[in-house]
């Protein structure tokens, strides 16, 4: 199968501190890949490198077929990104936000119009189209923010703790959006602190102290560590982490 | 007391660790004084001068041409009598006058030495010194040229006289304005921003839910900036006296009182701004609008209030800096006592009371 | 006597009701959890209890002191850790702790026994500015600062949000030990799995309390038969079960679907047949007990209807 993300011995050092240490992994097209790790284990740094926001120290990596060293601009055009701190403008309306993000990704006006329509129907936000984003409940903001990360039909979408703090029903609705997206062939790369969400992923990796300590399907990992939940797997792996982060 | 002490220590730690704050607190006042003292008032291109030529001979006219064509000076008037000279100085139209004695060329060739008098307006002391130095060197040049042709050594002797103009316009008039600006910057802006920072980062919530009373918090915030402002005031005044020759004619205690009163007004303004602003950014913008514009534009610091349209003059009355500048000029230059500035002091006191009251009301409103 | 007593508290911001008629009491020495999503009203309730804001109506007391009339006394005896990291980032670990001890008129040594366990984790970094600590460390320092004056009641507003599962477990261990020392603790969290670590919990959604009880009692109140269902294609399974006529509710839980049924008569075999008919493979069906998350969603569903 075609690889969406491929890294080989990818490393990032800040001074004498190695934040990401020789990580090697592959994510297939259309896969939901969970990228787990304790706070400070190096997840964010690795993700920033893959998004073309940070220059790696050494190793190799390609994202959507582009090299993270030399083709960072192309990478940015072919990926979507959403973080838990939503990237929406609270003081603009929903429509204005859609318009803005469509424009910065270079979509034509007709395309933006078409996308706006689709998006509003899909999220059932038709009536709120002209209200300010600030007035939306948190869960809706997150769904909107996710849809905007997909507005330019990226090949891969990076989600950084997308469901932090939302209620359990909204969290599940959000995951259904993720499933739909993956079904349509977009690769989903997601970080989360909810271990039950790790089980929604096709495969997960667990980072400890800058290294990937385990990578497999949730089922296989549970078997491997003789654990009944991902929570236990995570605990077994991450407990050994050094306290100095 | 122990609580207040540790709050103040904490506050000083914040200041010491913030390199930018240190720069604003200690380097900025010196830079501002130097900037105003030298760069702004030291404009010696086309300085306006008057010539009183009592000889009108070939030498005096030649020298006048040389001076005027140098580009540094612009001849504003040709005078006939000493009386005219005094008038033209009093009107403040010129910065320097050059006086040639009668029989200028004759004396020069016969006595081998002749006097030229330079009279400068010393209220712009730096300008005065610079102008007379320029004039002096042009005169020396002319003398050397003549000597070369003659093959002997004849001398022009210049004597310089410094005159104060009765309008008291000049070099140290920027000092009260700079004092006002610095105190506003440190006491009001820094207090407002650092209080807003506590709100923005959430630390205000934690210290509010503690036995610290609001008064202790505010006092602890304000004291470090009060101390720094006082140090800066001393630095500025010392520079004014020793570098720019500003006189302190009044009572030093009264001067301290005026400064303190304005400091408290600035602090209250900072506290009031912080009671409205939730973030540092908002505090900063509010400070620029409420502090700097009135202090710079509506205080008589740069633009004289009496030249403004009436409605603007009315607005100027609410600028604390206006009252401070009036009071401090009175004390420092005229040397007046408290009986002449009680009104300025009362207005400042009134402003302090109003601003503190507004802050309290605003803070209480936030809670409910 | 109840340590925290909340009577008919409402809070209105403009046209938005953030808290609607909240009634709650928390006993002396209890570890009480307030469970709900962001924006449910947890922080608003905390603000009222720690005297940072006034309720629109109703009354509340902490340790016998009224939140409005006796704010001063409350501030002396409570420890408060706000949702966002709220320490001085430019002061070192030690300076922060020292400052918070001194504003309560004490020193670190006075109550060192209370923070010792936690402080030892961060002591190696005591000269480091707080802003340069990792997430888990910051949280431990914030807890130390809230404890250093030996409060009678501890208010922790979402202390574990954004913290990884390992640090979260560690943190809850600390809370248990503090509770054993007699401190009443009110803690809020959006993580449902933390509910079982509390003695009693209140489930809050959109400004209303949906249930208050022990976690066990809340779980017992879930009356629908509940099955954990698994097949090869999870997303398809979820969609198909949603169309199943016996389904009361169904939600994804990890790699399985939790299926609540309308009535007791429906058996696993009926579900099996239904799914088999739709072409599902590797079907696994197990009868299970509900968790807090099942109850929370059930209550949300009920409230919405």
Question: Same domain, yes or no, for B323 and B256?
Answer: yes
Question: Same domain, yes or no, for B298 and B257?
Answer: yes
Q: Does B212 touch chain C (CB under 8 A)?
A: yes
Chain A residue with Cα closest to C120:
A243
Q: Does C137 touch chain A (CB under 8 A)?
A: yes
Please give the backbone phi and psi of residue A73, each rounded to the nearest 5 degrees, phi first.
-65, -40
3-state SS assignment for residue C182? coil
Question: Same domain, yes or no, for C249 and C108?
Answer: no
Q: Does B6 touch chain C (CB under 8 A)?
A: yes
CA atoms within 13 A on the CB side of A108: 2
What the block records as the tokens of B337 is 């006592």
Question: Same domain, yes or no, for C11 and C97?
Answer: yes
What the block records as the tokens of C231 is 């097949």
d(CA C173, CA C179): 10
The C residues from 39 to 98 touching A (CB cutoff 8 Å) are 39-40
Cα separation of the two ends of chain B: 30
Are C170 and C118 in contact by the 8 Å Cβ rule? The answer is: no
Average pLDDT over residues C289-294: 92
d(CA B304, CA B92): 15
By Cβ distance, the residue of C76, C80, C90 closest to B211 is C76
Q: At what angle do helices A109-122 and A94-104 cross, to 10 degrees?
A: 130
What the block records as the tokens of B304 is 């004289």
- Is C48 inside a domain boundary? yes
The predicted-structure confidence for C30-68, as pLDDT tens digits, reads as follows: 999 999 988 899 999 999 999 999 999 999 999 999 999
d(CA A220, CA A211): 19
d(CA B221, CA B334): 36
For B92, the domain range is 47-163
d(CA C83, CA C288): 35
Please indicate whether, in this complex, the C-beta atoms of C255 and A218 are within 8 angstroms of each other.
yes
**pLDDT band at residue B124 using 50, 70 and 90 as cut-offs:** low
Are B137 and B160 in contact by the 8 Å Cβ rule? The answer is: no
Question: Same domain, yes or no, for C155 and C42?
Answer: yes
Are B175 and B246 in contact by the 8 Å Cβ rule? The answer is: yes
To test the contact with chain B by mutation, choose from C91, C102, C131 the residue with the greatest count of B C-beta atoms within 10 A, namely C102
Average pLDDT over residues B193-200: 91
For C75, the domain range is 2-219
Chain A residue with Cα closest to C304:
A169
Question: Same domain, yes or no, for B151 and B196?
Answer: no
**pLDDT band at residue B111 using 50, 70 and 90 as cut-offs:** confident
**Which chain C residues are closer than 8 Å to A175 by Cβ?**
252
What total number of domains does chain C contain?
2
**Which chain C residues are closer than 8 Å to B368 by Cβ?**
53-54
Residue reference for tokens 């030990």: C177
Question: Same domain, yes or no, for C200 and C283?
Answer: no
Are C23 and C209 in contact by the 8 Å Cβ rule? The answer is: yes
Question: Same domain, yes or no, for B206 and B335?
Answer: yes
- Is A243 inside a domain boundary? no
Q: What is the CATH number of the domain that holds B95?
A: 3.40.1710.10
To test the contact with chain A by mutation, choose from C165, C171, C298 the residue with the greatest count of A C-beta atoms within 10 A, namely C165
pLDDT of residue B212: 87
* Closest-CA distance of chain B to residue C85, Å: 7
Residue ending a domain, choose from B163, B179, B197: B163
**Which chain C residues are closer than 8 Å to A132 by Cβ?**
none
Q: A65: exposed, middle or buried (C-beta count within 10 Å: 0-12, 13-18, 19+)?
A: middle
Q: Is the pLDDT of residue B309 over 90?
A: no
Question: Same domain, yes or no, for C121 and C163?
Answer: yes
Which residues lie across from C286 on neighbouring strands? C228
Which residues lie across from C185 on neighbouring strands? C31, C154
Please indicate whether, in this complex, the C-beta atoms of C161 and A164 are within 8 angstroms of each other.
yes
Q: Does C159 touch chain A (CB under 8 A)?
A: no
Please give the backbone phi and psi of residue C171, each rounded to the nearest 5 degrees, phi first.
-60, -45
Chain C residue with Cα closest to B212:
C103
Q: Is the pLDDT of residue B136 over 80?
A: yes
By Cβ distance, the residue of C164, C169, C254 closest to A196 is C254
* Closest-CA distance of chain A to residue C234, Å: 9
What total number of domains does chain A contain?
1
Cβ-count burial C4-32 (b if 16+ within 10 Å, e if not): bbbeebebeeeeebbbeebebbbeeebbb
Chain A residue with Cα closest to C258:
A172
**Which chain C residues are closer than 8 Å to A139 by Cβ?**
37
Average pLDDT over residues B112-129: 78
d(CA B200, CA B262): 28
Q: Is the pLDDT of residue B119 over 60?
A: yes
Length of chain C: 305
Q: What is the CATH number of the domain that holds C247?
A: 3.30.70.100
Q: What is the CATH number of the domain that holds C204?
A: 3.40.50.300
* Closest-CA distance of chain B to residue C138, Å: 14
pLDDT of residue A244: 39
Q: Is the pLDDT of residue C292 over 90?
A: yes
Q: What's the mean pLDDT when you consider all of chain B? A: 85
Q: How many CB atoms lie within 10 A of CB B205?
A: 21
The answer for residues whose C-beta is within 8 angstroms of residue A45's C-beta and 6 or more apart is A12, A19, A20, A54
The A residues from 138 to 167 touching C (CB cutoff 8 Å) are 138-139, 161, 164-167
pLDDT of residue A243: 44
pLDDT of residue B167: 44
Kind of pairing, strands A66-67 and A58-63? antiparallel
Please give the backbone phi and psi of residue B312, each rounded to the nearest 5 degrees, phi first.
-75, -35
What the block records as the tokens of C207 is 């400004």
Please indicate whether, in this complex, the C-beta atoms of B203 and C86 are within 8 angstroms of each other.
yes
Question: Same domain, yes or no, for C234 and C140?
Answer: no
* Closest-CA distance of chain C to residue B361, Å: 15
Chain A: touching chains (3 or more CB pairs < 8 Å): C
Cα separation of the two ends of chain C: 37
Question: Same domain, yes or no, for B244 and B193?
Answer: yes
By Cβ distance, the residue of C36, C121, C235 closest to A179 is C235
- Which alpha helices (H) appear in chain A, and where do they start and end? 43-50, 72-78, 94-104, 109-122, 138-149, 168-183, 195-198, 218-224, 230-238
Instruction: Tell which residue, C118, C122, C130, has the closest CA to residue A243.
Output: C122
Q: What is the CATH number of the domain that holds A37?
A: 3.40.50.300
The predicted-structure confidence for B10-55, as pLDDT tens digits, reads as follows: 999 999 888 888 888 889 888 888 887 776 555 566 788 889 988 8
Are C183 and C148 in contact by the 8 Å Cβ rule? The answer is: no
**Which chain B residues are closer than 8 Å to C90 by Cβ?**
13-14, 17-18
Weakly modelled stretches of chain A, pLDDT under 70: 1, 85-86, 240-245
Question: Same domain, yes or no, for B185 and B260?
Answer: yes
Q: Does A222 touch chain C (CB under 8 A)?
A: no
- Which alpha helices (H) appear in B209-341, and where do they start and end? 214-242, 252-276, 280-287, 293-297, 310-316, 320-329
The predicted-structure confidence for C230-282, as pLDDT tens digits, reads as follows: 888 888 898 899 999 999 999 988 888 999 998 888 888 889 999 999 989 88
By Cβ distance, the residue of C85, C88, C104 closest to B211 is C104
pLDDT of residue B226: 93
Is chain B touching chain A, with at least 3 CB–CB pairs below 8 Å?
A: no
Q: Does A201 touch chain C (CB under 8 A)?
A: no
Are C141 and C122 in contact by the 8 Å Cβ rule? The answer is: yes
To test the contact with chain A by mutation, choose from C93, C171, C255, C259 the residue with the greatest count of A C-beta atoms within 10 A, namely C255
Please indicate whether, in this complex, the C-beta atoms of C255 and A168 are within 8 angstroms of each other.
no
Write out the E strands in B11-103.
Answer: 47-53, 73-79, 96-100
The answer for residues whose C-beta is within 8 angstroms of residue A98's C-beta and 6 or more apart is A112, A115, A116, A119, A148, A151
Question: Same domain, yes or no, for B257 and B356?
Answer: yes
Q: Which helix (H) or strand (E) holds C255?
A: none
Rg of the Cα trace of chain A? Answer: 18
Question: Same domain, yes or no, for B322 and B306?
Answer: yes
Are B95 and B109 in contact by the 8 Å Cβ rule? The answer is: no
Q: What's the mean pLDDT when you consider all of chain C? A: 91
Question: Same domain, yes or no, for B32 and B62?
Answer: no
Average pLDDT over residues C148-177: 90
Question: Same domain, yes or no, for C239 and C211?
Answer: no
Residue reference for tokens 């060329």: B105
Q: How many CB atoms lie within 10 A of CB C289?
A: 9
ipTM: 0.80
pLDDT of residue C91: 95
Please indicate whether, in this complex, the C-beta atoms of B2 and C102 are within 8 angstroms of each other.
yes
d(CA A178, CA B41): 68
Residue reference for tokens 């493979």: C281
Are C93 and C143 in contact by the 8 Å Cβ rule? The answer is: no
Question: Same domain, yes or no, for C9 and C111?
Answer: yes
Q: Does C121 touch chain A (CB under 8 A)?
A: yes
The answer for residues whose C-beta is within 8 angstroms of residue A225's C-beta and 6 or more apart is A214, A232, A233, A236, A237
What the block records as the tokens of B255 is 């001067």
Are B24 and B188 in contact by the 8 Å Cβ rule? The answer is: no
Question: Same domain, yes or no, for B181 and B306?
Answer: yes
Question: Same domain, yes or no, for B102 and B121?
Answer: yes
Q: Is the pLDDT of residue B168 over 50?
A: no
Are A93 and A120 in contact by the 8 Å Cβ rule? The answer is: no
- Is C195 inside a domain boundary? yes
Are C243 and C267 in contact by the 8 Å Cβ rule? The answer is: no
Please indicate whether, in this complex, the C-beta atoms of C145 and B212 are within 8 angstroms of each other.
no
d(CA B99, CA B60): 10
Please indicate whether, in this complex, the C-beta atoms of B18 and C88 are within 8 angstroms of each other.
no
d(CA B56, CA C168): 98
What total number of domains does chain B contain?
2
Question: Same domain, yes or no, for B146 and B293?
Answer: no
For A116, the domain range is 3-238
Between C260 and C161, the more confident residue is C260
Q: Is the dihedral of CA C242, A84, C189, C34 positive or negative?
A: negative
pLDDT of residue A240: 65
Question: Same domain, yes or no, for C142 and C162?
Answer: yes
**Which chain A residues are closer than 8 Å to C192 by Cβ?**
168
What the block records as the tokens of C88 is 């001085």
Question: Same domain, yes or no, for C105 and C229?
Answer: no
Q: Which helix (H) or strand (E) holds C295?
A: helix C292-304
* Closest-CA distance of chain C to residue B264, Å: 25
Q: How many CB atoms lie within 10 A of CB B17?
A: 15
């Amino acid at each position: 199968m075609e690889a969406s993300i491929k890294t080989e011995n990818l490393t990032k050092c800040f001074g004498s501190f190695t934040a990401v240490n020789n990580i090697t992994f592959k994510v297939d097209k259309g896969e939901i890949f969970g990228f787990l790790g304790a706070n400070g284990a190096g997840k964010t740094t690795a993700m920033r490198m893959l998004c073309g926001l940070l220059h790696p120290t050494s190793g190799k990596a390609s994202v959507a077929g582009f090299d993270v060293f030399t083709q960072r601009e192309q990478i940015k055009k072919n990926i979507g990104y959403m973080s838990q701190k939503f990237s929406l403008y609270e003081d603009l309306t929903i429509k204005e936000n859609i318009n803005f993000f469509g424009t910065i990704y270079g979509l034509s006006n007709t395309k933006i119009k078409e996308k706006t329509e689709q998006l509003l129907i899909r999220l059932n936000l038709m009536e709120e189209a002209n209200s300010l984003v600030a007035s939306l409940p948190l869960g809706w903001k997150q769904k909107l923010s996710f849809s905007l990360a997909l507005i330019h039909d990226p090949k891969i979408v990076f989600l950084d703790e997308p469901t932090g703090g939302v209620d359990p029903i909204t969290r599940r609705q959000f995951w259904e959006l993720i499933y739909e997206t993956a079904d349509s062939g977009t690769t989903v790369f997601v970080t989360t602190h909810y271990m039950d969400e790790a089980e929604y992923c096709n495969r997960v990796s667990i980072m400890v102290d800058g290294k990937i300590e385990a990578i497999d399907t949730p089922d296989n990992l549970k078997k491997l560590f003789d654990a009944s939940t991902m929570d236990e797997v995570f605990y077994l792996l991450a407990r050994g982490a050094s306290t100095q982060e | 007391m122990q609580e207040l002490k540790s709050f103040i220590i904490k506050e000083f730690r914040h200041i010491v660790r913030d390199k930018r704050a240190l720069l604003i607190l200690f380097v900025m006042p010196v830079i501002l004084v130097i900037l105003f003292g030298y760069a702004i008032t030291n404009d010696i291109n086309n300085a306006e001068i008057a010539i009183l030529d009592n000889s009108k001979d070939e030498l005096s006219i030649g020298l006048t041409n040389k001076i005027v064509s140098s580009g540094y000076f612009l001849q504003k008037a040709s005078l006939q009598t000493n009386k005219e000279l005094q008038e033209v100085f009093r009107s403040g139209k010129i910065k320097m006058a050059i006086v040639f004695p009668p029989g200028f060329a004759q004396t020069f060739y016969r006595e081998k030495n002749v006097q030229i008098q330079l009279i400068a307006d010393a209220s712009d002391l730096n300008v005065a010194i610079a102008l007379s130095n320029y004039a002096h060197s042009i005169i020396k040049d002319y003398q050397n040229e003549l000597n070369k042709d003659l093959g002997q050594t004849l001398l022009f002797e210049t004597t310089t006289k410094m005159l104060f103009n009765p309008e008291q316009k000049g070099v140290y008039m920027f000092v009260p304005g700079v004092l006002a600006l610095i105190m506003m910057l440190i006491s009001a802006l820094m207090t407002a921003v650092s209080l807003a920072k506590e709100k923005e980062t959430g630390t205000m919530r934690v210290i509010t839910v503690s036995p610290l009373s609001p008064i202790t918090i505010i006092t602890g915030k304000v004291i470090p900036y009060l101390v720094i402002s006082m140090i800066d005031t001393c630095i500025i005044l010392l520079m004014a006296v020793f570098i720019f020759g500003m006189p302190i004619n009044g009572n030093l205690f009264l001067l301290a009182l005026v400064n303190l009163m304005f400091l408290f007004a600035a602090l209250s303004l900072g506290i009031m701004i912080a009671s409205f602003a939730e973030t540092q950014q908002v505090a900063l913008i509010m400070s620029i609008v409420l502090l700097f514009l009135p202090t710079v534009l509506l205080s008589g610091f740069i633009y004289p209030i009496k030249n403004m349209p009436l409605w603007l003059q009315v607005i100027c009355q609410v600028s604390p800096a206006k009252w401070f500048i009036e009071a401090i000029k009175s004390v420092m230059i005229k040397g007046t006592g408290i009986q002449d500035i009680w009104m300025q002091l009362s207005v400042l006191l009134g402003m302090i009371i109003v601003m503190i009251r507004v802050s309290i009301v605003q803070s209480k409103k936030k809670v409910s | 006597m109840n340590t925290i007593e909340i009577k008919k508290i409402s809070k209105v911001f403009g046209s938005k009701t953030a808290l609607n008629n909240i009634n709650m009491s928390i006993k002396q020495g209890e570890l009480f959890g307030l469970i709900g999503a962001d924006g449910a009203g947890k922080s608003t309730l905390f603000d009222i209890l720690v005297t940072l804001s006034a309720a629109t109506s109703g009354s509340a007391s902490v340790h016998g002191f009224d939140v409005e009339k006796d704010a001063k006394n409350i501030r002396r005896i409570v420890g408060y850790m706000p949702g966002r990291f709220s320490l001085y980032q430019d002061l070192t670990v030690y300076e922060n702790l020292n400052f918070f001890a001194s504003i309560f008129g004490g020193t670190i040594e006075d109550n060192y026994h209370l923070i010792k366990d936690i402080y030892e984790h961060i002591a190696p970094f005591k000269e480091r500015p707080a802003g340069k600590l990792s997430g888990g460390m910051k949280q431990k320092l914030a807890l130390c600062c809230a404890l250093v004056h030996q409060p009678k009641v501890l208010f922790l507003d979402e202390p574990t949000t954004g913290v990884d599962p390992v640090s979260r477990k560690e943190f809850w261990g600390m809370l248990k030990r503090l509770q054993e020392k007699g401190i009443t603790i009110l803690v809020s969290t959006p993580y449902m799995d933390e509910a079982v670590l509390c003695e009693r919990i209140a489930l809050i959604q959109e400004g209303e309390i949906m249930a208050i009880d022990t976690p066990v009692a809340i779980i017992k109140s879930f009356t629908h038969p509940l099955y954990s269902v698994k097949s090869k294609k999870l997303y398809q399974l979820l969609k198909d079960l949603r169309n199943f006529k016996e389904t009361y509710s169904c939600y994804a839980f990890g790699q399985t679907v939790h299926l609540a049924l309308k009535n007791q008569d429906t058996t696993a075999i009926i579900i099996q047949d239904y799914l088999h008919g739709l072409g599902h493979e590797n079907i696994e069906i197990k009868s299970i007990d509900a968790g807090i998350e099942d109850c929370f969603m059930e209550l949300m569903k009920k409230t919405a209807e």
